[in-house]
Amino acid sequence: MKAVLALENGTWYAGRAVGATGVTAGEVVFNTSMTGYQEILTDPSYAGQIVTMTCPQIGNYGVAEAEDRESAAPRVAGFVMRADSPIASNWRATGTLHDYLAAHGVVGISGIDTRALTRLLRSAGVMRGVIGTGRIEPEELVAQAQAAPRMEGSDLVRSVTCAAPFDWCAGDDTPAAGFGVEPAQRATRPLRVAAYDLGMKRNILRRLAAHGCDVRVFPATAPASDLLAMRPDGVFFSNGPGDPAPLDYVVRNAREVIDGGGPVFGICLGHQVLGLALGARTYKLKFGHRGANHPVRNVATERIEITSQNHGFAVDPDSVPDDVEVTHVNLYDGTIEGLRHARLPVSCVQYHPEASPGPHDADYLFSGFIEAMERRTGHSARA
Amino acid sequence: MPRRTDIQRVLVIGSGPIVIGQACEFDYSGTQACKALRSEGLDVVLMNSNPATIMTDPDVADRTYVEPLTWEYARSVMEKEKPDALLPTVGGQTALNLAIELGDRGVFEELDVKLIGASLDAIRIAEDRLEFRGAMESIGVEVPDSAYARSFDEAVELVDRFGFPVVIRPSFTLGGVGGGIAYNMEEFRDLSRRGIELSPVHEVLIEESVIGWKEFELEVMRDGADNFVVICPIENIDPMGVHTGDSITVAPALTLTDKEYQRMRDAARRIINRVGVETGGSNIQFAVDPDTGRMVAIEMNPRVSRSSALASKATGFPIAKIAAKLALGYRLDEIPNDITRLTPASFEPTIDYVVVKVPRWTFEKFPRAERTLTTQMKSVGEAMAIGRTFKEAFLKGMRSLEIGRSGLLFGGAPEGVESEPGELRRRLALPTDRRMWAVFEALVAGWSVEELYEASRIDRWFLTQFAGIVELYRRASAAGPDGLSKELLLELKRAGFGDEQLAAILGVDATAVAARRSDAGLRPVYKRIDTCAAEFESFTPYLYGTYELECEAEPNDRPKVVILGSGPNRIGQGIEFDYCCCHAAFALREEGYETVMINCNPETVSTDYDTVDRLYFEPLTQEDVQAVIGRERSAGGEVSCIVQFGGQTPLKLALGLQSAGVAIIGTSPDSIDLAEDRERFARLLGELGIPQAPHGLAASREEARGIAEEIGYPVLVRPSYVLGGRAMAIVYDPGALDRYMTEAVDASPQHPILVDKFLEDAFEIDVDAVADRTGAVVIGGIMEHIEEAGIHSGDSFCVVPPYLVPERQVAVIRDYTRRIARALKVVGLLNIQFAIKGDTVYLIEVNPRASRTVPYLSKATGVPLAKVAARLMVGRTLAELGLTADLEVSGVFVKGPVFPFVRFPGVDTILGPEMKSTGEVMGGGENFGTAFAKAQLSAGQRLPDRGRAFISVNDEDKRNVVSIARDLAGLGFEIVASRGTAAYLRAHGLDVEVVYKINEGRPHVGDRLVDRQIDLIINTPLGRESYFDDLTMRRVAMLYGIPCVTTLTGAAAAVSAIRALRAEKPTVRPLQEYHAGVAARG
């Protein structure tokens, strides 16, 4: 079946439908990762976005329904590829990408010049777009793209956060044997972490568990008092979709948590929220960072980490208050990749130390959180 | 981290001659390293015995030693140059082995030289499988179970433990020589015995088999601050069991989930750290069990490699250049990415296309060779192709191989591939150079992907892609030329089907397909290789063609010259031609032209995006080349094309391009054709009064017999339009001629056979010259072959200046060369082969194009002939360039060939008119003997300076061998000989002991060789009956590294060399000094 991807600037691309049929709208972005499409599809941070894979052959190894997902189901608004695979070739595969997308209602398109699209998004910036399948007028889709809601200012977190608090049990959802990274150091006693689910990837939970944490996950809207009431060893702010600006309720809670004085760690949207809570501002990047190859320098050690990234907004360096240090910098464009409060045990990174997909170079950050929690409670592993 | 300040002068070791397993890729990486080091202000001293490389150009390093790569010569260079450091990681296994030997002999401490890039410990851990296994176990990385055996009995114990199949790997051999897979005891016996023999330490590794597992390679880099990046994951389509150099490979890896890939990446990081590579690039191979995902590490190379060259070309990330900078102490984040300029090298390239590498074998040169592919590499070259999808890249790769119709997967029986016996399943299960054709044959015959997987263990994903190609083939076939819709044509082109392939499927001419395409408005666009999948702007026009919406070629309107490269390496067309193409590019850039390169060989310097202004990584076919030229023309600038530097590959396209309106500069295609067209050319020589051996042109067996009767036997027969003496033979009687005409060639009026009177015992001479548009001619050099006529010029040792040719004949040769150059209106390079018999100088052939000897001669004379030629082609004159006299050399330079026989058990090592060498070396000295001795040593033949010589020659040679034997005896050699030869020598007063030939009883000559009681063999072919006897002896000699000379002139040269070796201590001298010597004299 034919399909069309139309953009708000009037450009459209003809391709073939893959997955579910119908019409879907979203912000069109690109991801340069060469592996991990299932993790990308199921990353809640992509809510509201049509994701283009720059790697041309997608779907080759199928999907491992339970093992390789980052949330219960795909979250992307749509999926764009150069070439999709008719089969799933991998010993862990439970089905093909096409069937997976169809089963979860994701409209995809294949066979388009994804490099031309990427170059357009790179030079003009990300834009709204619509994928439509079947007999469809491209001009109509362009009009729909122009009418689609903008990402700036919309609160997408409410659509992906959990409905009620729950406890993460390590045994619930672990990747197949041999794929977990051995943590550099484990907590010396079970640490209780309260986590805000702004659209949390499961691998964050898996990594926290692997480092020896018991995690209770709270909806984004839960008041900070609910979290603090469980007297956690630390509080975590997760990744999530969209613009941090409208998340005033999360930022308020973050301030309250920070004021509580306990260790706080955040990733991605959680980093932006903590940045806002600490007094910085955020802004929208032209085409974002989405991929698994971005070099980030750890300012303190000067070591380079190859990182997994997925964000369209960033903390404005000019707005960072004096008592907040920049701990990590992106070597592609100099943007802020990590912050830490000079006195309070609050730190956060813009990128994804939990990887999945992507390199494991930054797993040490979880150890850092563990250390902060242990130090706080006088149980430092090094003591 | 600033660069280290304790290093001012670095010795870079090259990889020596081109051999199977070590080809142009080390010229590419070595040249990059030299450039990178010099750009940092360091003094670079280079040592490489291979004159056909760009890296040995005198302006690439400060001091260039074309000397044997042995520890003695390396030590001499180090003593003379006093470098602070030695970089051993860009010269392949040769350089690493040399570093180990220098280390073992304490030379680094003695001369206070540091090893940079890799430590001796790291090299040892990576090389020694037992140490490697221990190291892997210590970091929790699994490896296949294995153990060493130093005797056959020990080996048998191990195989009892592991069961069949098992892998046998001799320790410390290059490219896995002597290794293999044994499926049963019989194979095991042969392989383990031979492996123990071949290993310099007489040891083999017996290893649990992971045959059939998926195979991956990671190209990784690490800097001194422990920053680590993966440059490229590569997946082998042929599963484990086939050497990666013989596998069709693809980048990026396509069948790994992120979980599996990251596990591999983590392991790679631990491995490079554990092995102890402080800085630089490494190649790490993994196998993955397709059924369970179990991953094992196979091996790691702590240096740049063939795969790293491939990864560099596949991603645009210059691994060798960065590795050189890291060795100086820089960190990855301190080095900019050339392509994006704004981002650093501390990242992992991501690619938005698919790259397929296809090996090219030359089994047709070695008909007795075993075609089964094993852990020992057998291919001599490779083509790389880039497409937006796997299908496109794969089909482009197949047509890049230039193997005629056999490059087409469909549409008639491929040329030269006889119908193979045996059943399809066996051909699928047993990997050979032809397996891919069996896969397509099976798919066309209706096999399912599952059945194919069971037989071949090629991953189902690839098989499904192949099935998709077959499905498209069926649709095209069913549609036929008339029913082919524009949509289907586009789909076929997008899937990578070439015009020629479609023409074969549709049963029409390729031009008809091109016309259809053009009517439908279908033409390729060009996309950039930018390391980052378009995330950032690219400033480097490194392009590949594809059928997509957007074109990023962005040609400008400056005058351009398109240089056509020489495609995949093969015997007869290798690095020498790439050297010439690069030089053309360098010269024309200096002349103010925009230079454009089209080539598909990932090993080469010509496909380095630094070499030219615009690089198109495309197959060298009419369709692909014309499309590039069309795109370049679209900007309005004048576009001309050079075809005379890339060997036969571009020449074959010349007339087609010209008729398509492309301006070919330099010697006209018509002149080139005239020189190839025997009848036209004979008329021309008649007019010029230049003698030629009697000859004729035969379109049938009968005609051939007629000609041979007329001119008399022996005759030299060969097809027209070949390079490297393909299917060339000397026949002595009508029976042999008939056999040749029926078995070896397929003569027809379109493809006639050349029949020449063979000039027995003649001297052969090669001449390279340059000529300009005014008719001025400068002779670059007159090179005398050391072996007599009948041995292919590429396989012959040769020397400049000539040492036996009288001056009056040299004058005749100069005169003939000038007359021919003018008659053919040569503008650019010209190569002529002459034979001298008695008083007559005969012309054998003329090639108005770059020849194999151009780089050697350029190194000997110090004048870059290919650069000169390129300037002449764009209108400069020799006078303008200051070249008014024929070139001279200071000293004597001998070029020697290097052969791949050790890779092909059962193949005879005897030489003939068909070229068999893969590479060349050069030896320089003050006299012939020294230069020849160095060339021999560089080619791997360590001539003895004392000991016992075995002589066995045919009757015709007996008379002339006497003086050689006498000279050897005079030098203190003990002479032993076969019965006949001994009798003859005794009759001439020599003291000779008789040694049995192999079929005469024991102990025979083979036993004596094995016992190392013979140090030199002189053996000329003795005719059919003793053929196998001699062959066995020559192979034993080769396996034991005992010099075996098979011609009398070669033997005489060897005697001069031995005399020189005894007379003087070997000295080293850089090219720059030799060249200054010429300048001083002139």
Could you tell me the pLDDT band of residue A381, with boundaries at 50, 70 and 90?
very low
The Cα–Cα gap between A250 and A266 comes to 12
**Is A379 in the active site?**
no
Task: Give the one of A68, A122, A295 whose C-beta lies nearest to B346's C-beta.
Answer: A295
Q: Which of A63, A89, A207 to mutate to test the interface with B (most CBs of B within 10 A)?
A: A89
Task: Give the one of A56, A64, A89 whose C-beta lies nearest to B460's C-beta.
Answer: A89
> Is ipTM beyond 0.90?
yes
* DSSP code at position A30: E
Find where tokens 């690439």 sit: B60
Residues of A in contact with B343 (CB under 8 A): 295, 331-332
> Which candidate, B987, B990, B978, B991, places its Cα nearest to that of B1017?
B978
pLDDT value for B1081:
67
Residue B933 backbone zone (phi > 0: left; psi -120 to 50: alpha; other: beta): alpha
Q: Is the pLDDT of residue B267 over 70?
A: yes
Q: Is the pLDDT of residue B601 over 80?
A: yes
The Cα–Cα gap between B230 and B232 comes to 6
Could you tell me the pLDDT band of residue B1064, with boundaries at 50, 70 and 90?
confident
- Mean pLDDT confidence for B999-1006: 84
- B1081 or B501, higher pLDDT: B501
Write out B965-1033 in H/E/C secondary structure. Answer: HHHHHHCCCEEEECHHHHHHHHHCCCCEEECECHHHCCCEHHHHHHCCCCCEEEECCCCHHHHHHHHHH
Does A87 sit within 8 Å of B460, measured CB to CB? yes
Q: Which of A7, A29, A32 to mutate to test the interface with B (most CBs of B within 10 A)?
A: A32
Which distant-in-sequence residues (6+ apart) come within 8 Å of A286 by Cβ?
A122, A125, A126
Q: Is the pLDDT of residue B1031 over 80?
A: no
State pLDDT tens for residues B9-63. Answer: 999 999 999 999 999 999 999 999 999 999 999 999 999 999 999 999 999 999 9
Q: Is the pLDDT of residue A382 over 80?
A: no
- Mean pLDDT confidence for B585-596: 98
- B399 or B788, higher pLDDT: B399
Q: What is the CB neighbour count within 10 angstroms for residue B885?
A: 9
Chain centroid offset of residue B257 CA: 36
* DSSP code at position A22: S
Does B255 sit within 8 Å of A60, measured CB to CB? yes
- Mean pLDDT confidence for B71-87: 97
State pLDDT tens for residues B166-214. Answer: 889 888 776 567 788 898 899 999 999 988 888 878 899 898 889 999 9
Specify the DSSP element, H or E, that contains B876: none
**Is A98 in the active site?**
no
pLDDT value for B1024:
46
pLDDT value for B407:
63
pLDDT value for A78:
98
State pLDDT tens for residues A304-335. Answer: 999 999 999 999 999 999 999 999 999 999 99
* % of residues, chain A, pLDDT over 90: 90
* Mode of pairing for the β-strands spanning B948-952 and B594-599: unpaired
Specify the DSSP element, H or E, that contains A347: strand A346-349
The Cα–Cα gap between B640 and B487 comes to 34
Could you tell me the pLDDT band of residue B413, with boundaries at 50, 70 and 90?
very low
Q: Is the pLDDT of residue B973 over 70?
A: yes
- A170 or B803, higher pLDDT: B803
Q: Which of A5, A30, A90, A351 to mutate to test the interface with B (most CBs of B within 10 A)?
A: A90
User: How far off is chain A from B388, nearest CA to CA, in Å?
Assistant: 7
Tokens of B816: 């003939």
Answer yes or no: are the C-beta atoms of B74 and B98 closer than 8 Å.
yes
Q: What is the mean pLDDT of chain A?
A: 94
- B637 or B667, higher pLDDT: B667
pTM of the predicted protein model: 0.95
User: How far off is chain A from B450, nearest CA to CA, in Å?
Assistant: 11
Q: Is the pLDDT of residue A379 over 60?
A: no
Residues of A in contact with B527 (CB under 8 A): 115
> Which candidate, B961, B957, B925, places its Cα nearest to that of B1055?
B961
pLDDT value for B415:
44
Residues of A in contact with B553 (CB under 8 A): none
Distance in angstroms between the alpha carbons of the first and the last residue of chain B: 49
- Mean pLDDT confidence for A94-111: 98
The Cα–Cα gap between A35 and A50 comes to 18
Report whether the peptide linkage leading into residue B714 is cis, meaning its omega lies within 30 degrees of zero.
yes
Does B262 sit within 8 Å of A359, measured CB to CB? yes
Could you tell me the pLDDT band of residue A172, with boundaries at 50, 70 and 90?
low
Q: Is the pLDDT of residue A175 over 60?
A: no
pLDDT value for B487:
96
Give me the catalytic one of A268, A294, A305, A328: A268
Q: Is the pLDDT of residue A54 over 60?
A: yes
**Is A65 in the active site?**
no
Q: Is the pLDDT of residue A110 over 50?
A: yes
Task: Tell me the Cα Rg of chain B.
Answer: 28
- A171 or B68, higher pLDDT: B68
Lowest mean pLDDT among A57-71, A238-252, B494-508, B1008-1022: B1008-1022
Q: Residue B864 to residues A62, B514, B769, B802, B827: CA-CA distances in angstroms?
A: 55, 40, 12, 20, 16
- Mean pLDDT confidence for B128-153: 91
Does A360 sit within 8 Å of B262, measured CB to CB? yes
pLDDT value for B414:
46
State pLDDT tens for residues B703-752. Answer: 999 999 999 999 988 887 665 667 788 888 898 888 888 876 766 677 78
State pLDDT tens for residues B527-548. Answer: 999 999 999 999 999 999 999 9
pLDDT value for A173:
61
With CA atoms as reference, the chain B residue closest to A68 would be B259
Task: Give the one of A86, A89, A116 whose C-beta lies nearest to B255's C-beta.
Answer: A89
Q: Is the pLDDT of residue B763 over 50?
A: yes
Q: Is the pLDDT of residue B421 over 50?
A: no
Does A178 sit within 8 Å of B533, measured CB to CB? no
Q: What is the mean pLDDT of chain B?
A: 92
Angle between helix axes B435-444 and B449-456 (nearest 10 degrees) is: 150
Does B252 sit within 8 Å of A32, measured CB to CB? no
With CA atoms as reference, the chain B residue closest to A85 would be B461
Q: Is the pLDDT of residue B422 over 80?
A: no
Find where tokens 């066996």 sit: B426
* % of residues, chain A, pLDDT over 70: 96
State pLDDT tens for residues B286-339. Answer: 999 999 999 999 999 999 999 999 999 999 999 999 999 999 999 999 999 999
The Cα–Cα gap between A367 and A371 comes to 6
Q: Residue A310 to residues A196, A240, B365: CA-CA distances in angstroms?
A: 18, 10, 55
Backbone angles phi, psi at B271, to 5 degrees: -65, -50
- Mean pLDDT confidence for B1005-1019: 89
Amino acid residing at A313: F
- Mean pLDDT confidence for A330-350: 97
Answer yes or no: are the C-beta atoms of A97 and A62 closer than 8 Å.
yes
Find where tokens 């002999």 sit: B105
Residues of B in contact with A296 (CB under 8 A): none
Does B225 sit within 8 Å of A303, measured CB to CB? yes
Could you tell me the pLDDT band of residue B1004, with boundaries at 50, 70 and 90?
confident
Does B252 sit within 8 Å of A92, measured CB to CB? no
Residues of B in contact with A14 (CB under 8 A): none
The Cα–Cα gap between B853 and B751 comes to 28
pLDDT value for A321:
97
Backbone angles phi, psi at B763, to 5 degrees: -85, 145
Q: Is the pLDDT of residue A377 over 70?
A: no
Chain centroid offset of residue B593 CA: 30
- Mean pLDDT confidence for A51-78: 96
Size of interface A-B (CB pairs under 8 A): 176
Question: Any idea what the Cα angle at residue B552 is, between residues B547 and B556, rounded to 5°?
Answer: 125
Could you tell me the pLDDT band of residue B909, with boundaries at 50, 70 and 90?
confident
State pLDDT tens for residues A2-12. Answer: 999 999 999 99
Find where tokens 């006088």 sit: A378
The Cα–Cα gap between A232 and A257 comes to 11
With CA atoms as reference, the chain A residue closest to B546 would be A113
User: How far off is chain B from A254, nearest CA to CA, in Å?
Assistant: 33
Task: Give the one of B226, B390, B549 whose C-beta lies nearest to A113's C-beta.
Answer: B549
Q: With 0-12 CB in 10 A as exposed, 13-18 as middle and 19+ as buried, what is B342? A: exposed
Q: Is the pLDDT of residue A297 over 70?
A: yes
Does B333 sit within 8 Å of A178, measured CB to CB? no
* % of residues, chain B, pLDDT over 70: 96
Does B535 sit within 8 Å of A122, measured CB to CB? yes
Give me the catalytic one of A39, A337, A354, A371: A354
pLDDT value for A174:
60
Residues of B in contact with A180 (CB under 8 A): none
- B997 or B897, higher pLDDT: B897
pLDDT value for B1002:
84
